[in-house]
Amino acid sequence: MIRRRSLLAAATAACAARPALAQAPWPTRPVRFILPDGAGAGNDTTARLIAPLLEAALGQPFIVDNRPGAGGRIGVEAAFRSPPDGSTFLLGNAGSNGINAAIYRDLPFDLATAFDPVALLVVGPNALIVNSRALPVANVAELIATARAQPGRLSYASAGAGSSAHMNMELFKHQAGLDIVHVPYRGAPALVQAVITGEAPLAFANLVNVMPQVRSGEVKLLAVTSLARATDLPDTPTVHESGLPGFESLAWNGLLAPKGTPAPIRERLHAELTKLRGNAALQERVRLLGGELAVSSPQEFQARIDADIAKWKRLAEAANIQAQ
């Protein structure tokens, strides 16, 4: 009887220990956020805002690892090839994890399924900007009329072939039936500078990358790309209400884990990210950059990725767009 009780006690203790093993502490070493963007980009700003907050909450360093290049492919592939052990995550974005699926046919993975989504973090509209001295238009209707009157004579800047700036303008051209010449530059800062100088006086850009120039008057903000007006820009119309109904193209970023990262790790990170929605200072910082701190569920994030991939594939096929 004594032996039977001892065995029963041992079995009970073993069963009780299993949840503890399943919920082993995480993280036990530094965590790396790989970004397919250069330092100073909007997604880099997001990472550097949240990394110290997660470090304080979880007790390990959160390191921002910028891996720009090849339209985001370098950073995404580095994350894809990282071990699924909770030490590495990808801060993907609308270009690296949405557009690229539509324009690159030689990716070594399927962007719709290559990662486990953790949370959509920041969402915001893009901006349609002009140099109003080089291209004197006051609104989207005037821009469309001017472009139609001068087919092939206006030019627009992008951050490179296949970038979100490129695809946003191609979507605009496709819906409006316009012929505007694409001038690719190397990254968002060069794009903004091209508009400021008038070298290529028109562009779509992430709001976070152009708000300083909008506020200084160096560029004119014609419209935003959300269906509803931006909360902080109530006087700025949307493209949707300016003659192209249904036009929408949102900038976003979010955290993804290498496929197979244990669910308890992903859930722990998601729980800490969810707490950030209650951080008023962080919310304000993100709002001033032109975005909203969303922190969605993994399922909502996956739905966003799937919808974007489908939209950009339709455009790439209709407009015959491929990465160079």
Global pTM value: 0.85
- Helix, strand and coil percent figures for the chain, each rounded to 5: 45, 20, 35
Average pLDDT over residues 107-123: 96
Secondary structure E strands in 5-135 = 31-35, 62-66, 88-93, 115-130
Residue 240 DSSP class: G
pLDDT exceeds 50 at position 1:
no
Q: pLDDT higher for 25 or 310?
A: 310
Number of other residues whose CB lies within 10 A of the CB of residue 289: 20
Same fold, 31-123+250-319 and 125-242: yes
Q: How many Cα atoms sit within 13 Å of 124 on the Cβ side?
A: 27
How many angstroms separate the first and last alpha carbons of the chain? 78
The per-residue pLDDT for 209 is: 81
- Per-residue pLDDT tens digits for 143-168: 999 999 999 999 999 988 888 999 99
Spatial separation of the C-alpha atoms in residues 53 and 58, rounded to whole Å = 9
Residue 21's pLDDT band (boundaries 50, 70, 90)? very low
For domain 31-123+250-319, the question of CATH label 3.90.550.10 is answered with no
36-45, 117-126, 176-185, 254-263, range with the lowest pLDDT:
36-45
Q: Rounded to an integer, what is the distance from CA 262 to the centroid of its chain?
A: 24
Q: How many Cα atoms sit within 13 Å of 208 on the Cβ side?
A: 21
Average pLDDT over residues 187-198: 91
Q: pLDDT higher for 71 or 32?
A: 32
Is 158 within 8 Å of 183 (Cβ atoms)?
yes
| Four-way CATH pick for 125-242: 3.55.40.20, 3.40.190.10, 3.40.50.300, 3.90.1150.170 | 3.40.190.10
Residue 324's pLDDT band (boundaries 50, 70, 90)? low
The per-residue pLDDT for 16 is: 46
- Which contiguous run of DSSP H or E holds residue 47? helix 42-58
- Per-residue pLDDT tens digits for 276-319: 999 999 999 998 888 899 999 999 999 999 999 999 999 999 88
The mean pLDDT of the chain is 90
- Per-residue pLDDT tens digits for 221-269: 999 999 999 988 999 999 999 999 999 999 999 999 999 999 999 999 9
pLDDT exceeds 80 at position 60:
yes
Cα–Cα distances in Å, from 290 out to 125, 161, 170, 229?
7, 24, 23, 12
Is 145 within 8 Å of 151 (Cβ atoms)?
no
**CB environment 257-268: b (16+ within 10 A), e (fewer):** bbeebbeebbeb
Average pLDDT over residues 185-201: 91
Residue 11's pLDDT band (boundaries 50, 70, 90)? very low
pLDDT exceeds 80 at position 15:
no
Dmax (CA) of the chain = 97
Average pLDDT over residues 181-210: 91
Identity of the amino acid at 151 = P
User: DSSP for 148-198?
Assistant: HHSTTT-EEEESSTTSHHHHHHHHHHHHHT---EEEE-SSHHHHHHHHHHT
Strand-strand pairing, 88-93 and 250-258: antiparallel
Is 73 within 8 Å of 104 (Cβ atoms)?
yes
The per-residue pLDDT for 9 is: 47
Cα–Cα distances in Å, from 96 out to 50, 92, 102, 143, 273?
20, 6, 10, 29, 21
pLDDT exceeds 70 at position 18:
no
Spatial separation of the C-alpha atoms in residues 92 and 107, rounded to whole Å = 16
- Per-residue pLDDT tens digits for 164-186: 999 999 999 999 999 999 999 88
Helix (H, G, I), strand (E, B) or coil at 103: helix
Express as a percent the part of the chain with pLDDT over 90.
75
The per-residue pLDDT for 19 is: 44
Q: How many Cα atoms sit within 13 Å of 117 on the Cβ side?
A: 22
Average pLDDT over residues 94-116: 93
The per-residue pLDDT for 69 is: 82
Spatial separation of the C-alpha atoms in residues 24 and 28, rounded to whole Å = 9
Domain borders along the chain are: 31-123+250-319, 125-242
